[in-house]
Structure 1
Amino acid sequence: MAQLKITCAKCGARMHIRKTVWKTPEFADLYCTCTNVDCSKTGVFNVTWSHTISPSGLEGKGLIKALFERLRPDEKQMALDWLQGQPG
């Protein structure tokens, strides 16, 4: 998994993310501290979701397909019967 690398605007050293506070599922505050002990700058970095380039395969029909594939064979048959209006 990729990690976000934040550099200190003052000295250019890498910042250490001490804490993440999610404000919404698409917006977070990252509390950071500079790793350069002579600098030791601290601050909050905001991370936000900008826009979707390609929609998730788990939306709409993709979600139904993913859920259906996780069912056992007897559960799949029960779901098909229910969707077709047949008593199960």
Structure 2
Amino acid sequence: MRILCPECGEKSSIQKSNRISLGYSDLYCSCRDPECGHSFVMNLSFSHTLSPSAKTSTQLAFELLKTLAPSQQQELKARLSLL
């Protein structure tokens, strides 16, 4: 991603990012031109989907379950059987 300084138009560097939510971040930037030296905050946000994810919610849940310890997996199976 290329960030341009809004003051002089030169390339800028992202120094830090602060994720506010899954689809929105603040980018703390500074101009690379030492004569300018402008520092500023840009916003990065999710706009819209062009192609949906190939991962379904079932697949995502299964991947999360695989990260649990075997005892936690057994406990979850027992709880699910009560539904």
Q: What band does the TM-score fall into relative to the shorter chain?
A: 0.5 to 0.7
Q: What is the CA–CA distance in structure 1 between the aligned matches of 2:12 and 2:57, rounded to whole Å? A: 40
Q: What is the CA–CA distance in structure 2 between the aligned matches of 1:60 and 1:36, rounded to whole Å? A: 46
The structure having more radius of gyration, on CA atoms, is 1
The one of 39, 49, 59 equivalent to 2:36 is 39
Q: CA RMSD in A?
A: 2.0
The one of 17, 24, 30 equivalent to 1:20 is 17
After superposition, where does 1:52-71 map in structure 2 within 5 Å? 52-60=49-57, 63=59
Report how many residues are paired: 64
Deviation string 1:19-70 (CA, Å, 9 cap, x unpaired) is 0000001100000000000101011000000011111000246x27x85xx9
State the identity %: 32
Structure 1: runs of 5+ lacking an equivalent: 71-88
Structure 2: runs of 5+ lacking an equivalent: 67-83
- Provide the TM-score with structure 1 as the length reference: 0.64
Greater fraction strand: 2
**Consecutive aligned runs of 4 or more in structure 1 exceeding 6 Å deviation:** none
Q: What is the CA–CA distance in structure 2 between the aligned matches of 1:47 and 1:10, rounded to whole Å? A: 19
